[in-house]
Amino acid sequence: MGIDAEMLVRRVPRIAVTDEWLKETSWKLCKAIGAEHFFVEAGPTPRLAIDRTLTRYRDADTPAMGSVYQQDGDDVPAENGECLLELSLSGRYYGPGYERGDILAYCAIAEWLEANIEGCEVWYGGDSSGVCAEPFPEAKRRELKLHLFGKNGRDYFGHFENSGLFSDGCKRPEPCSLCPRGQYRGIRNGFGRNGAYGVFHCAGCGKSVMTEDGGATFKSHKDD
């Protein structure tokens, strides 16, 4: 199980947070950044890109919505008059040693929030493995972007770029014309079935393919 990205929004007055304001803010955020970066869902109980904490999956013992942010670590309680908001991010966490998620999108989301919610403070973290939310100001965002742009920016996937067979015996796809030195160095992000199954993504052309027979044949992945 991987670490999913989490984002907390603080310093928002409780009195300013209404259902209609949340829906309007969610819509504008999706329009600006792209709905594909969030878990959003229409229906009788819609899922918004931004909402009060503890809005979903409630029971009789769940604290009031917006009153606390729960994580794999110490809870973050709301201060007097504050309503805690969280983002419904669709993506993995990104940080040194775990260079997986779309940190550029997360930085853009934080900047949009700061530009559109006066006085807010954005925190960033993960949903497991003790990766707790921390303040996410411009200096921290720049630090992570510089890490991404450096030689170690995608180290998490480095061990998937070696030539030859994987340890489970699965073959990699043939390189495309954009693969350097004629070697396929894409990311493998699907495993299972004793080496028969694999999903591969080429960074050069952006295409994803999958195999169900250990690399004997490949077909376009459904998420293309």
39's tokens = 């878990």
Cα–Cα distance measured from residue 9 to residue 79, given in angstroms and rounded to the nearest whole number: 13
Cβ proximity of 168 and 195 under 8 Å? yes
Burial 51-71 (b: 16+ CB within 10 A, else e): bbbbbeeeeeeeeebbbbbeb
Distant-in-sequence contacts of 215-221, Cβ < 8 A, 24+ apart:
215/170, 215/171, 215/172, 215/173, 216/171, 218/173
Compute the Cα dihedral for 69, 121, 109, 139 and give only its sign. negative
Tens digits of pLDDT across the chain (224 residues): 689 999 999 999 999 999 999 999 999 999 999 999 999 999 999 999 999 999 999 999 999 999 999 999 999 999 999 999 999 999 999 999 999 999 999 999 999 999 999 999 999 999 999 999 999 999 999 999 999 999 999 888 765 555 455 677 888 899 999 999 888 888 887 787 788 998 998 989 999 999 999 999 999 987 64
pTM: 0.87
